[in-house]
Amino acid sequence: MRLAVVSDIHGNRHAFEAVLDAIESSDCTELWCLGDLVGYGAEPDACVELARRHAAVCLAGNHDLGVRGTLPLEDFARGAALAAQWTQETITAKTLEYLHTLEPQLLDEAVGLYHASPRDPVWEYVLSTLQAELCLDVQTHRVCLIGHSHVALSFCRPPDAPATGQTRAIDEELDLSEGEWLVNPGSVGQPRDGDPRAAWLELDLDTWSAVYRRTDYDVEGAAAAIRAARLPDSLAERLAYGQ
């Protein structure tokens, strides 16, 4: 089975629609989402509806949990909290109902699925080999998918060797057939690795291989929607820089 894996959409309809078009043109047969459908961006209802329609699997991210009231907004940075409060005031009852059905981890698939990490499915940013080692020590699946950091990257621990990891660029391929892995597809709606294009991953569970993808989208349109909603201007500005 060949899957498309996405994460951290953050209310960016322009990016999500572009990625869905790219997935439609690929060999992927299912879409899996690692969470954060809402937050930062100005079109949360549209993004949740797209996920409801297209995603076979969808997790809850910390922003989804904050918007639905499971996490206090005091736990978020100022810009994130303002965006979450605006989202709470804006979304439909149907959107909120869907967010309440989601959980931050799923462990009954061939790979482990976490919004953030196997140690902390909600909050941990796995950006170092030390963090990866600690996560690999506790994860129950040989290969796990994680989001949350907004960075396309992977960590691998071969048998009897320490973990190594690196960021990943467009079209880079992974051989997942051996060793233990943490794989992050990057962010659809707010990449933070210097590449403004929407990030996603093609994952083949038959060959245990993966390919990193990037998709161009209307960044200015997404930024204009944020400004029209009177959300913090920094949330619009950062999109063009992939930060």
Domain of 201: which CATH number?
3.60.21.10
- 228: helix, strand or coil: helix
**pLDDT reported for residue 83:** 97
Query: How many Cβ atoms are within 10 Å of 100's Cβ, its own excluded?
Result: 13
Contact 158, 179 (CB under 8 A): yes
Q: Which domain holds residue 136?
A: 2-241
**pLDDT reported for residue 194:** 97
**pLDDT reported for residue 98:** 98
Task: Give pTM, 2 decimals.
Answer: 0.96
**pLDDT reported for residue 33:** 98
**pLDDT reported for residue 32:** 98
Contact 36, 9 (CB under 8 A): yes
Q: Cα dist. 100→65, 69, 70, 143, 182 in Å?
A: 8, 9, 9, 27, 27
Contact 148, 116 (CB under 8 A): yes
**Amino acid sitting at position 144:** C
Q: CA torsion, points 145, 154, 99, 239, in degrees to nearest 10?
A: -160
How many folded domains does the chain comprise? 1
Over the chain (243 residues), what is each successive 10-residue block's mean pLDDT?
A: 97 98 97 98 98 98 98 96 97 98 97 98 98 97 98 96 96 98 98 98 98 98 98 97 96
| Pick from 90, 94, 100, 115: nearest CA to 226 | 90
**pLDDT reported for residue 76:** 96
